[in-house]
Structure 1
Amino acid sequence: MNLANERVKHRQFGEGQVVENTEDRITVQFGKQIGLKSFIFPDAFENFLLIDKLVVQHEIHKIYEQKIEQERKLQQERMEKATRLAAEQAKNPKTKHKKTTSAKRKTEK
């Protein structure tokens, strides 16, 4: 989604204009005193930024929801994998080897 030149509002920094955006970052030019600020995209639009065009704001919200869902699925997969590994380790415990101390090794020689 190309947001270059779109007008945005920030709670603290006021009005600005998007100068660049990538899949995961957005850079906004605010007034001379504030300058350029970079934000995580689309996350910043959930808490800090509002775009002037309501339709675009809705599209950004959809992108944010998809990102959250992907992260949730990834977290779920990680949890399931960790659970499977723990279950496998419980079924096949490693045999414990006794450690010999260096003093004991010397006397054995």
Structure 2
Amino acid sequence: MMEVERMESLVNEEVKHLKFGRGSIVEEPAEHIKVRFQSGGAVKTFRFPDAFAGYLAFEKGELQKKYNEMAMSERRRRETGHREEILRMEEERKAAQLELLKHRRSAARTAKTVAGTAAKKTK
């Protein structure tokens, strides 16, 4: 998985969440961020930057726009990779089916030859 590069530290940036309310970013390890929410002081972990395309919103509009675009770009990159993986697996499945069909035809020819040879010997 590709690590998303951040331009600046997001620690102490204020965010909003529909369920948990307002909070601030307290940690930003590799591919996640941790947010402490005002209601109850709970710390929740969110995937970065994905959370900004649906779950979290920055108080600062310019940050929201920047990280929303980053989240959408990352999502498109992952979806493209997923589609490519599905196509590769489909090609492998088709190749395996073709090999099986070739094997079955070869086995049928062998069985027919063996049957024909056995019939000639009995005459």
What TM-score range do you get, normalising by the shorter chain?
A: 0.7 to 0.9
The DSSP-based 3-state class of the residue aligned with 2:100 is coil
Counterpart Cα distance in 1 of 2:94 and 2:73: 32
Which runs of 5 or more structure 2 residues have no equivalent in the other structure?
A: 1-5, 108-123
Aligned equivalent of 2:94: 87
How many Å apart are 1:69 and its aligned residue?
1.2
Counterpart Cα distance in 1 of 2:73 and 2:79: 10
More helix, by proportion = 2
For these two proteins, the number of residue pairs brought into alignment is 97
Aligned equivalent of 1:37: 44
Greater Rg, structure 1 or structure 2?
2
Report whether the alignment pairs 1:65 with 2:72.
yes
Q: Give a deviation string over 1:2-52, Cα, whole Å, max 9, x none.
A: 211101111122211111113421101122623211112222222221101
Q: Percent identity?
A: 26
Aligned equivalent of 2:15: 8
Which runs of 5 or more structure 1 residues have no equivalent in the other structure?
A: 98-109
TM-score (normalizing by structure 2): 0.68
Is 27-36 or 49-58 further displaced after alignment? 27-36
Task: State the 4+ residue runs in structure 1 displaced beyond 2 angstroms.
Answer: 94-97
The DSSP-based 3-state class of the residue aligned with 1:33 is coil
Query: What is the aligned-residue RMSD (CA, Å)?
Result: 2.1
Change (3 A) 1:58 1:23: farther
Q: Which residue identity lines up with residue 56 of structure 1 in the other structure?
A: L
Residue 22 of structure 2 contacts residue 37 of structure 2 at CA under 8 Å; is this kept in 1?
yes
